Amino acid sequence: MKPAAFDYVRARSVSEATDLLAKKEGDAKILAGGQSLTPMLNLRLARSSLLIDIKRAEGLRSLEADGSIVAIGAGWTHAEIEDGAVEDPTRGLMRHVARGIAYRAVRNRGTIGGSLAHADPAADWVSTMAVLGATLVCEGTGGKRRRVAADGFLQGAFLTQLAADEVLVAIEVPRLSAQARWGYYKVCRKAGEFAHALGAVIHDPAKNICRIVVGATDGPPKLLPRTAAALAADRMAEALDGLDREIVAVLPEHEPAAQRLHATAVRRAIAAMSTTMDH
Amino acid sequence: MSASSTNGEGVGARVPRKEDARHLHGRGQFVGDLAMPGMQDVAFLRSPVAHASIVSRSKPAGSDGAIFFHDDLTGTLPIITRSSIPGYKVSDYPVLARERVRFVGEPVAMCVAANRAAAEDLTETIDVQYDELPAIVSSDAGRAAGATLLHPQWGDNLFLETSFDSGLDQAVADAPVKVELDISTARQTMHPLEGKGVVAHWDHRAGQLVVHTSTQVPHLIRAGLAECLGLPQALVRIIAPDVGGGFGYKCLLQPEEVVVAWLALTYKTPFRWIEDRREHLVAGANARQHQYRIKAYADRQGRLLGMDAEVAVDVGAYSVWPFTACLEAAQAGGNLPGPYHLTAYRVKTYSVATNKPPFAPYRGVARPGVCFAMEQVIDAIAKAVGREAWEVRAENLVPGSAMPYTNITNKHYDSGDYPAALLSAKEMIGLDAFRAGARRDARGRYLGIGFASYTEQSAHGTKVFAAWGLPFVPGYDQAFVKLTPDGALEVRSGIHTIGQGLETTLAQVACEVTGVPLSTIKVTLGDTATTPFSTGAYASRGIVMAGGAVARAGEVVAERIKAIAAHLLQVTPDAVTFRDGRIYAGNASLSYADVGRAWYFRPEQLPDNVDRAGLEATEGYKPEVDSGLFSYASHAVRVAVDPDTGLVEILDYVIVEDCGRMVNPMIVEGQTYGGAAQGVGTALFEESPYDANGQPLASTLIDYLLPGPVELPKFRIAHRETLSPYTKFGIKGVGEGGAIAPPAAIINAINDALAPLNAEVRDAPASPKRVLAAIEAARSRADALAGADA
Ligand SMILES: Cc1cc2nc3c(=O)[nH]c(=O)nc-3n(C[C@H](O)[C@H](O)[C@H](O)COP(=O)(O)OP(=O)(O)OC[C@H]3O[C@@H](n4cnc5c(N)ncnc54)[C@H](O)[C@@H]3O)c2cc1C
C-alpha cells in the first residue's frame, strides 16, 4: 500500500497550478489536504506522474464578504470552518457540518475545495453547498474564471464539471437571513464515517428560499422541490406525506430499503429544523 | 503470603503495568521499528481471483533475485498440518502458490527491493495467467452435491466431519416445547493494532537464522519454521519483540514468515515484510464464520431437555499450522452446551473448505459463536414458554452446589456460581425498573435488555489438546528465576506478552513468592535464545501456566535465599521471613543484595551445605487437573433500536465475571474491556463479505467497520472471585472471555427491543441492513396475516 513514484511540485499560485495541469494533459493531480487523494494513491487506485500541491498557493485561503455572499477560498480546512476561523454566513450550518466530518485529524488537513472537487456523493460539503445554493468558482489557464452552481457541479460519483486544467478556487456561499432555519441529518453507523443517507433543509422565508436536498446517493445530491414547496407553504403534513413518493421519483435506481433510509434522513433533517435554531 | 510480605505488590495487587511507560512514551519496539543495514523490503503479488489454475507465470528478464515464484524457493516445504483425528484431511499449504490459487490474497510471487514502494512496483511487472474455477464462498455451497473441489484428491470439501450423540429420542418425545433456529456469524478479521511483521537476517557470529517476528508463540514458530526450511532448530532463533496485539492471528506459522526467512537464509542479508491493512483485510479474513441449525427441546417451565445441532464452519482453503482447520468446529461442538445443565445432546460439525483465507482461532475461538447460538436458544425457549429470559437462563445454569461438574461433552467445570453472576447482572442492569418503564424512548426507538452467560475454558492442557489431535500438545510450561548479585530478580518465560500485561503479572507472582520488590523484578519474554520452552500465549493460558511456573521456580529460589540468609543471620531457615522488600529474622535484617553478594562474590560466607544450583532455578508447571479452568461471566446490556435506520445504540452494559484469583484486578478489567470491545465489533459492525466470485467486499476500513470509542459503552464490571481448586493461587485464565458474550447479549437485547414488532434478528453482525430486513419481514408477515383474515 505504497504509491507508485510521482513528482511533486509546490505551486505558488493558481496560475502555476493550472499551467502545470494543462501541460501534463491529465497526468497531473492537484494535492490539497490529501485526505482523499493519498489513500487512493496508496491503494494505487489513483496514479499521477505529478502532484501539484496547492496548500501554499496564493489566493486559495481568501475570504471575501459582501452583503449577500461570503466567498470562501477552496484551501480552508474543515477544522478552520469548525472553529469559526472562517466567517459562517449560514447561521451555524457550516460549522455544524464541519464538526461532523470524519475525525479531527482528518479535518485538520482536509479542505472544503478538496472535498467538493473529489465529489464523493456521500461527502458533506457536496450536499451542503447544493442545499445552500452556493456557487463554485473555477479557474483555468490564463486566469479564466467560471462560476458554476453547486447544485449540478457533480455530474456523477467522483465526477465534476471541473475541466482538466481547472482549479476550484473559491465557494460563494449566500448569506442566510436572521430568521432562516436549517436542518441537517446524516445516517452513519459510526462517528466519522461517510453518510449512508443524508438530508439537508434550508428555510429562509425572508429570502423566499426553501430548499431540501437528499444526499449520499449513488450520484449527485437531489433537490426535493415538491416537498420543499409544501414546507414553505407551512403544509408540514403534506410535505411529509409526499416525501416518500418524491424520494422514489428522484432516486428510482435505489433499492426500496435505501429509498426509505433516505426519506428518513430527510424527515429527520426537517424535524431538526425546530431544534437547530440559534447556534 | 501476606500483603506486608510483598509490600502490597504481589498477587491480587492493583498495580500499574510495568510495560506501559515505554508504550505511552512511544518507545516500544515493534518489528516495524527495527532497522538493519542493507535491509530490503518484501511485497507480495497476491492472487486477484478466488479459485483458479495457474496457467502460466512470467517475470521480466533480469529480475531473478528480486522476484520469486514458488519453484524459485529451493529447499522450502509447504506448510502441512497433520492431525491425529480420524477422518481429518491434510491440505498442502504451499508457501507461494503452486499450480492453483485458492483464495483472493493468496501469495503468488514475492518481490524484493530497497523499499516497499519499489517492491510493490515489481509486483506490477509480473504476468500470471489464471484459468478460473468456480469459487466456493459458503459452507453450504462447499457441502452441496457436485460442488467444485478445492483439493480434488479429497473427494469432497470437508476437512473434517464429526458427530456426538448422547441419545435424544426420550427428550424429543417428552418435550412439549420445541424451538428451531438458524443462526450465523459473519467472517471477520482480527485487526490487532500492529499487523503481522517479519524481519529476518543471518547472524554470522552465532551461525543462526534470526527471525524477529510479531508472534504469540516464538518457540512454536521456531519448530515450524525449522521444519519448513529443513533446518536444525539450533540454527534458528526467534525473537518476538513488542507485539501490538495478537488475538490468535499471530499464533500461526504464516507463509510470509517462511519465505522471508528463506530469503535471509539464502542471501544472508536482512529482509523485512510488514503487513499492511489491506493485506490484513483481504488475506487475513479468517475468523468467526459459523452457521448453526439448532432444534432445542424444553418443558413448559423452559427447562432444557435436549438439543440437536448442526454446526458448519467456513474454514477457508488450507489448514493453518499448528491449530489445524478443525479446532474451531471441535470447540463449537464441545462448547455449545455452555454453562447449562443439559442431559441429551446431539451435534454434527462440518469444517468446510472454501475459497477464503485459512481459518485461525480468534480470541474466544469458537465460543463467541456458540454463545451467540446457545443464548438465542435460551431466549427463544423463554419466549415460547412466556417467561423472562433471565429466569429460564438461571434455572438451566449449572448451580454452584453442583461444582465441580462434568457436563455432557465431558467438560469439567472446576468451580463457580453461574446463577449468582447472572442474578447480579440482572440487578445491576436494573431489569425490574426497566420492565416497569416505557418500551420506546422519546426518539421513538425501541428499548430492550438482553443477557448472555458463558463459560470460558482456559489454560486447557495436555489431555484436551491431545484429544483435538493437534501437531503439538502443551505439557509443562517452564520458567526461569534468578536472584542477581545486586539483589534484583530476573524472570524468564517462553510465553509472550502481546498486550496482556505479563511483564507485570509475572513479576507480581515472583514478588509474591520471593518478596523481592516489584520495581527490581525484570521479566524477559519472547526470545527463544534466552527463555525456556513454552508453547506460547493462546487459550487464556499465560497467567495460569507461566504464572504457575514462575511461582514454582520462585519458590525454589526463595528457599535457597532463606538458607543463605539464615546462615548469615545465624538462625534456622524457618525463622527467616520476607517483609517490606527485605529479609528478616526477628529484628535483624538483610537486603536481597546481601544474599546475592554472598552467593556470587563472597562464597567464604556461605554455609557448607549450600545448594550448588545457586540462586537460580528453572521449573515446570501444569495444573493438577489440566482439562482447563472454567472462568465464567454473565453480561447484560440495554439497547435502543431505531426502527427507521436500523441503528443500535448501547445504552448500558454490565459484566459480572469470575476468573478465580485475580493477580491484578486492573489488568483483568483491561482484558475484559478490550475483549468486550471486540465483542461489540462482532455484534454490530465487523464483517468481511464476499461476492459470488469469492471477491472480498471489505478491503479497506471504509467498508470494514471497527467500533471506535464513540460506539463503545462504558462497560461496568463486577467481580466474583471463586478460586480454582486445581491451580497455584486458584487462578483461572481471563484473556479471551470479554469477547465471548457481547454478540449474544446484544442480539438478545435487540430482539427484546423488537418484540413489539415481532421482528427477530438471528445473524451477526446486527447491521442496520439486517435489523431493517427483520422489521420488514415482520411487517410483511403481519400484512399477510391481516390479508388472510380479511
Ligand atoms: C477517515 C476519513 C473519514 C472521512 N469522513 C468524511 C465524512 O464523514 N464526510 C466528508 O465529507 N468527508 C470525509 N472524508 C473526506 C475528507 O473530507 C477529505 O478531506 C476531502 O474529501 C478531500 O479534501 P482534501 O483537501 O484532503 O483533498 P485531496 O485529498 O488533496 O484531494 C481530493 C481530490 O480533489 C482534487 N482537488 C483538491 N483540491 C482541489 C482544488 N482546489 N481544485 C481542483 N481539484 C482539487 C485532488 O486532485 C483530488 O483528486 C473522510 C476522509 C477520511 C480519511
Closest Cα in chain B to A1: B276
Q: Rounded to a whole number, what is the distance in Å from the CA of B389 to chain A's nearest CA? A: 29
Torsion over CA: B525, B531, B536, B542 (sign):
negative
Give A196's contacts in chain B (Cβ within 8 Å). Answer: 768
For ligand 1, is residue A194 a contact (CB within 6 Å)? yes
B406: three-class secondary structure by DSSP: strand
Q: Is residue A2 part of a domain?
A: no
Same domain, residue pair A78 and A170: yes
Give A191's contacts in chain B (Cβ within 8 Å). Answer: 708, 710-711
Q: Among A35, A108, A194, say which to mutate for ligand 1: greatest number of ligand atoms within 8 Å of CB.
A: A35
Chain CA centroid to CA B612, Å: 42
Chain CA centroid to CA B17, Å: 21
- Considering only the beta carbons, identify the residue of A1, A193, A264 that sits closest to B645: A264
Same domain, residue pair A45 and A88: no
The tally of domains found in chain A comes to 3
Q: Which among A198, A195, A181, A217 has a CA at the least distance from the CA of A264?
A: A198
For ligand 1, is residue A248 a contact (CB within 6 Å)? no
Same domain, residue pair A28 and A99: no
Which residue minimizes the CA distance to atom 39 of ligand 1? Answer: A114
Same domain, residue pair A169 and A210: no
For ligand 1, is residue A111 a contact (CB within 6 Å)? yes
Task: Write down the pTM of the prediction.
Answer: 0.97
Same domain, residue pair A217 and A237: yes
Distance A111 CA to ligand 1 centre (A): 6
Residue A104 belongs to a domain with what CATH number? 3.30.465.10
Give B705's contacts in chain A (Cβ within 8 Å). Answer: 189-190, 193
Residues sharing a CB contact under 8 Å with residue B168, sequence separation 6 or more, in sequence order = B297, B306, B308, B344, B345, B346
Q: Is residue A127 part of a domain?
A: yes
For ligand 1, is residue A154 a contact (CB within 6 Å)? no
Torsion over CA: B698, B699, B703, B706 (sign):
positive
Same domain, residue pair A107 and A190: no
Same domain, residue pair A168 and A189: no
Distance A253 CA to ligand 1 centre (A): 26
Buried-state track B273-282, b at ≥16 Cβ within 10 A, e below 16: bbbbbbbbbb
Distance B696 CA to ligand 1 centre (A): 25
- SS3 for B279-296 is HHHHHCCCECCEEEEEEE
Q: Is residue A94 part of a domain?
A: yes
CB B544 within 8 A of CB B552: no
Q: What φ, ψ does residue B297 adopt, rounded to 5°? A: -120, 140
Owning domain of residue A30: 7-53
Kindly give the residue spans of alpha helices, DSSP state H, lying in B386-430: 389-396, 418-429
Residue A213 belongs to a domain with what CATH number? 3.30.390.50
Q: Is residue A1 part of a domain?
A: no
pLDDT at B6 (0 to 100)? 78
Whether residue B700 and residue A43 make contact (CB cut-off 8 A), yes or no, is yes
CB B232 within 8 A of CB B206: no
For ligand 1, is residue A123 a contact (CB within 6 Å)? yes
Whether residue B705 and residue A261 make contact (CB cut-off 8 A), yes or no, is no
CB B69 within 8 A of CB B59: yes
- Give the whole-angstrom CA distance, residue B108 versus residue B105: 9
Q: Which of A143, A159, A174 is the last residue of a domain?
A: A174
- Give the whole-angstrom CA distance, residue B527 versus residue B539: 20
Which residue minimizes the CA distance to atom 53 of ligand 1? Answer: A35
Q: Give the residue numbers in A contacting B (CB under 8 Å), as ranges.
A: 1-5, 39, 43-44, 187, 189-194, 196, 257, 260-261, 264
Q: Which of A147, A174, A201 is the last residue of a domain?
A: A174
pLDDT at B106 (0 to 100)? 98
Which residue minimizes the CA distance to atom 28 of ligand 1? Answer: A34
Tens of pLDDT, residue by residue over B272-316, are 999 999 999 999 999 999 999 999 999 999 999 999 999 999 999
Which ligand 1 atom is at minimum distance from the Cα of A107? 19
C-alpha cell read off for B172: 424429543
pLDDT at A275 (0 to 100)? 64
Same domain, residue pair A29 and A117: no
Residue A24 belongs to a domain with what CATH number? 3.30.43.10
Same domain, residue pair A268 and A186: yes
Q: Is B665 exposed, middle or buried (0-12, 13-18, 19+ CB in 10 A)?
A: middle
Give A47's contacts in chain B (Cβ within 8 Å). Answer: none
Give B708's contacts in chain A (Cβ within 8 Å). Answer: 190-192
Q: Is residue A25 part of a domain?
A: yes
Same domain, residue pair A112 and A198: no
Q: What is the pLDDT along chain A (279 residues), one digit of tens a residue?
A: 999 999 999 999 999 999 999 999 989 999 999 999 999 999 999 999 999 999 999 999 999 999 999 999 999 999 999 999 999 999 999 999 999 999 999 999 999 999 999 999 999 999 999 999 999 999 999 999 999 999 999 999 999 999 999 999 999 999 999 999 999 999 999 998 999 999 999 999 999 999 999 999 999 999 999 999 999 999 999 999 999 999 999 999 999 999 999 999 999 999 999 765 544
Same domain, residue pair A111 and A134: yes
Which residue minimizes the CA distance to atom 19 of ligand 1? Answer: A110
Instruction: State in Å, rounded, how far the first CA of chain A is from the last one.
Output: 42
Distance A118 CA to ligand 1 centre (A): 6
* pLDDT, mean of each 10-residue run, chain B (790 residues): 72 96 96 97 98 98 96 93 92 96 98 98 98 98 97 97 96 94 98 97 98 98 97 98 97 97 98 97 97 98 98 98 94 96 98 98 97 98 98 98 97 98 98 98 97 96 88 95 98 96 98 97 98 96 97 98 98 96 97 98 96 98 95 98 98 98 98 98 98 97 95 98 97 96 98 98 98 96 84
Q: Which of A119, A153, A174 is the last residue of a domain?
A: A174
- Considering only the beta carbons, identify the residue of A5, A191, A261 that sits closest to B710: A191
Give B276's contacts in chain A (Cβ within 8 Å). Answer: 1
Same domain, residue pair A41 and A17: yes
Q: Is B249 on the interface with A (CB under 8 A)?
A: no
Q: What residue ranges define each of the domains in chain B, with the CATH number in brackets?
A: 3-28+476-621 (3.30.365.10), 365-402+412-462+625-784 (3.30.365.10)
Residue B80 corresponds to which amino acid? I
Tabulate helix, strand, coil % of chain A (nearest 5): 35, 25, 40
pLDDT at A278 (0 to 100)? 47
Distance A216 CA to ligand 1 centre (A): 15
